[in-house]
């Protein structure tokens, strides 16, 4: 198998020969989706967390930057655990109209990032 924690907050277990998704479970706070369709590997949308212009959606986890960033994970043969350093951030998001101005951010949203459950901005998970 191949094991990979992704930015979307799910730890994927794949068949390394076929790429089939065998498992996809959250390894931190995730409410932006309702899970992963194991047949397609696609996220199942959470309609309560869909954003749009002029709409404020609160407490979206993880943030747009993701639950996992560049920090590497590591497997320990001694403990049999996968160690995952990751973000613990949620956000409030408001979609806004934006005009392109060279050299400035062009994202079309106002974002307020907040610590996730437990109040810490990061976490270190040992996955069995």
Structure confidence by residue, pLDDT tens digits, 6-39: 999 999 999 999 999 999 999 999 999 999 999 9
Among 13, 28, 25, residue whose Cα is nearest residue 66: 28
Q: What is the pTM of this model?
A: 0.90
pLDDT of residue 115: 98
% of the chain exceeding 90 in pLDDT: 93
- Enumerate the β-bridge partners of residue 46: none
Q: Collapse the DSSP code of 49 into the 3-class scheme (helix H, G, I; strand E, B; otherwise coil) and give the result.
A: helix
Which residue ranges make up each domain of the chain?
2-127
Query: Residue 41: is its pLDDT beyond 90?
Result: yes
């Amino acid at each position: 198998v191949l094991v990979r924690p992704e930015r979307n907050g799910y730890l994927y277990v794949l068949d390394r020969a076929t790429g089939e998704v065998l498992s996809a479970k959250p390894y931190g706070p995730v409410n932006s989706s309702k899970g992963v369709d194991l047949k397609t590997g696609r996220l199942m949308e959470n309609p309560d967390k869909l954003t749009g212009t002029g709409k404020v959606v609160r407490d979206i986890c993880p943030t747009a930057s993701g639950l996992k960033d560049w920090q590497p994970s590591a497997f320990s043969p001694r403990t049999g655990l996968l160690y995952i350093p990751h973000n613990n951030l949620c956000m409030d998001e408001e979609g806004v109209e934006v005009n392109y101005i060279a050299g400035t951010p062009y994202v079309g949203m106002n974002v307020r990032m907040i610590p996730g459950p437990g109040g810490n901005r990061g976490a270190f998970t040992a996955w069995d």
